[in-house]
Structure 1
Amino acid sequence: MATYTYRCTADGSVDIGLPIGTAPETIPCPACGTSAGRVFTAPMLGLADRRRTAVLDHTEASRSAPPVVTSLPTSTARRAPAPRLDPRTARLPRP
């Protein structure tokens, strides 16, 4: 569900929750019944947590001008152990 904002000339703004993409251009005002037109507002991105916002900012910044790499990164990650093979498949030919 998305929140859409409509503005009535008599009563001001009205927020309505509707499924995404189903908002009509006008609705009847819940208070007075006159036609209220849809108002386009900025999305509420400020409600996201800091990590998600940082990832979005980094992705947006690297889209048009990716950082230049001058050396290989240091590998600090440990390798995962090799998975155990199923003994039933040990006799199958290997490539």
Structure 2
Amino acid sequence: MATYEYVCSGCGPYDVALPMGGATPYRDCPECGGPARRIFSAPSLSRVGRALAEALDREERSRDAPEVVRDVH
């Protein structure tokens, strides 16, 4: 599902979750029922914290070259 942004002249902007490619240029406003036009905005991207990024990198590396334990401490 992708999130598409529409704006109603009376009610303002709102988001709609639709299948990829399922957005139309106009859609009925959920508040007033009037026409709302689709607007294009930057995609919503986020970054993960450093600790999580390092853990994900270790997990990805271990798929092809897992660390082998040679002795127990």
Q: TM-score range by the shorter chain?
A: 0.5 to 0.7
Report which of the two has the higher share of strand: 2
What is the SS of the residue equivalent to 2:23?
Answer: coil
Q: Which runs of 5+ in 2 are unaligned?
A: 54-73
Match in the other structure for 1:49: 48
Match in the other structure for 2:30: 30
The higher relative CO (CA closer than 8 Å, separation ≥ 6) is in 2
Structure whose CA Rg is larger: 1
**TM-score, normalization by structure 1:** 0.49
Matched, 1:19 2:27: no
2:47 and 2:4 mapped to 1: Cα distance?
19
**TM-score, normalization by structure 2:** 0.63
**Structure 1 segments of 4+ aligned residues over 3 angstroms from their partners:** none
Aligned length: 51
RMSD, aligned α-carbons: 1.6
